[in-house]
Amino acid sequence: MSRQKRWALWLIVALTLIFSGGTAVAQSENELTLSLSRDFGAGLASGIQGTFSYRVSGPDNLATVSFYMDDQLIGEDSEAPFRLQFRTDNYPVGRHTLYAVGVTQDGRELTSNTLSRNFLSRSEANRSMVTIVVPILLLALGGVILRVWLTNRDNKTHGKALANVNGPFGGTICPKCGKPFARHIWGLNLVAGKYDRCPHCGKWSLVRAMHPDVLKAAVEAMQEAEAAQNQSQPGDPDNPNRWRKRLDDSRFDG
């Protein structure tokens, strides 16, 4: 997985955890389990604002469920799936305790686990989202900028040379001198390739477009040969063939 995809995946997971509200479930040893899901609004840790739903799961013979908030009955449901929707704006801002009581067909009474949630006003929810989301977005943006900077730094040495050989008609390698170049618009298009002139040696040849990896290896080999040539003695007999050997070796790598 590329670095960019990892950053995108991390951002998606982080934003999902913040905004989804998910399905908050508190595990209980009781047979009746209460969860809270966000239908529309914001869920920030224990702070919620908007439209949410009680959701209850229990035994197969569960007949009715009563939903409570701070020990006050706010609704009932006698059909599965047992749920009750409510809006936080209809209740006082602050912390509230939520739970449910179910009755089975044989008369047993079951009490669910309790959930504690802090009801936020709209302004508080907006401030909380800004406080959390802005740093995440800045961090993600910083990661993208860092990736671009690292990419540009890595390509600084070879960037111009690669741009010169990756032309609109594809890049190739001269079969006469072995150096890479971009195929020209004036080259003659033939079935087997393009009859084109090498800008390095000036000779015409039938050339085909090469894979970018091959061109990159050719550019690196040529640059290394040129650097070695500049550092070597003028009379070094191995110097003229050094870049060609490097290019030939790169074709067999991997």
Domain extents for the chain? 3-129, 159-250
Choice between 164 and 99, residue whose per-residue pLDDT is larger: 99
Q: What is the pLDDT of residue 161?
A: 54
CA end-to-end span of the chain, whole Å?
20
Summarised one tens digit per residue, pLDDT across range 75-121 is: 999 998 999 999 999 999 999 999 999 999 999 999 999 999 999 88
Choice between 170 and 156, residue whose per-residue pLDDT is larger: 170
* pLDDT-based confidence at residue 9 (cuts at 50, 70, 90): low
Q: What is the pLDDT of residue 132?
A: 65
Is the pLDDT confidence value at 251 over 70?
no
Domain 3-129 sits in CATH at 2.60.40.10
Determine contact, residues 56/65, Cβ cutoff 8 Å: yes
Q: What is the pLDDT of residue 130?
A: 67
Q: What is the pLDDT of residue 45?
A: 73
* pLDDT-based confidence at residue 163 (cuts at 50, 70, 90): low
- The mean of the pLDDT values for the chain is 78
Is the pLDDT confidence value at 127 over 50?
yes
Q: What is the pLDDT of residue 117?
A: 93
Determine contact, residues 120/48, Cβ cutoff 8 Å: yes
Summarised one tens digit per residue, pLDDT across range 186-233 is: 888 888 888 999 888 889 999 998 888 888 888 888 888 888 877 765
